[in-house]
Amino acid sequence: MKVKNRFIYIGFPAYFFLPILFNLLFSNPVQAQVTEPEDSIMTSDEAEEAPDDEGEDFDNFTGYTDLNYWDFIRIPKFTFDSAMIPAHDHYPAGWDTITINPYKVDLRNMNDTVLIALRDSMDCFFHPPALGDITSTFGFRRWGRRSKFHFGVDVRMEVGDPVYAMFDGVVRVAKRSADYGYVVLIRHYNGLETLYAHFNQLLTWPGAPVRSGDIIGLAGSTGKSTGPHLHFEVRYKGEKIDPNKIVYFPTGSLLSDSLVIDKSCFSHLYKVQANKLRTRYHLVKKGETLSKIAYKYGISVKTLARLNRISTKTKLRPGRRLRLR
């Protein structure tokens, strides 16, 4: 053994130490640590997943503060090329990697009929997002003394179970949110977007191209969750479609090779709106504004301000009670 430039040299080749270095880095799973603007959390969208009065008891993971997960999994010197953006004909405007639903379109009265390819022999392939029992399906469900609409399906899973990309596409959002926990949203080449929530660990990043069947994360119980599961949604231009129209989850099989999207796919939104109108008051949460709350309940900002005798520019404090009608 001899000393070279203050380092101890013992005659072993450099690759001998690679397994040791790998174990040091990954002996504990590197969790997603994403910094996001406080106002990027879409409370009117994400709060639909869990009850307002459910605590943070199951959101114990905070991640490593000195590590960023995609520094380890992202391709070195990765750069995103806008030419990679899928489905330009369905989404002509922009590529938002923060906001889950930036489109803000009402499809309840859409006049067109859109045919979406789900599987073909050329370039459209399918893989079920997960296999497991459905614990909560698409539709209204009871939360305490009130009824709330559940916009996806929940699949029972164990912590660490793999979750798969449903179709080929590009990851648009991969971050942590208050309600969804660690969440991934993929825009697919066929025009659909799929959302996967409550991960314990993310294995992808915004801008990453994915193929059908790629593992995008490991199941968990982050965010507002009462136990390990996958919350899965299918979206078109931001609005949710019943995943049961596409996948038979008990076997993970595709129901059809194509999906016809028309206004009937969004008829449930009328029931959701009617249910919201029965609500008389709203308790302001952190980050909410008059415009966000007005949009959530389908009323104008001026009406909301008039009902509460405030200005349309009033800054709201968390905990304030607003009258809705």
For residue 48, the domain's CATH number is 2.70.70.10
Q: What would the pLDDT profile of 204-258 be if each residue is shown by its tens digit?
A: 999 999 999 999 999 999 988 888 999 999 999 999 999 989 999 888 899 999 9
Mark whether 117 and 247 lie in a shared domain: yes
| Pair 134, 265 in one domain | yes
Statement to judge: residues 229 and 289 lie in one domain: no
Q: How far apart are the first and last CA of the chain?
A: 82
Considering the entire predicted model, what is its pTM?
A: 0.66
| Same structural domain, 260 and 284 | no
30 vs 272: which has the higher pLDDT: 272
Statement to judge: residues 236 and 300 lie in one domain: no
Q: What are the φ and ψ backbone dihedral angles of 62, each rounded to 5 degrees?
A: -115, -15
10 in a domain, yes or no? no
Domain count, the chain: 2
Q: Write 305-312 long-range contacts (CB < 8 A, 24+).
A: none
Task: Please give the Cα distance from 36 to 321 (Å, whole number).
Answer: 27
Q: What is the structure's pLDDT at 79? A: 80
Check whether residue 291 and residue 248 sit in a common domain: no
**Whole-number mean pLDDT of the chain?**
77
For residue range 23-62, what is the model confidence (pLDDT) as tens digits? 544 444 434 333 333 333 333 343 334 433 333 322 233 3
**Domain match, 110 and 43 both:** yes
* Residue for token pair 């045919």: 115
Closest-CA residue to 81 (of 101, 99, 60, 95): 95
Structural domain range at position 261: 38-271
Same domain, 144 and 255: yes
Q: How confident is the model over 278-288, as a mean pLDDT?
A: 80
- Do 208 and 316 share a domain, yes or no? no
Alpha helices in the chain (DSSP H): 18-26, 43-46, 70-73, 268-277, 290-297, 301-307
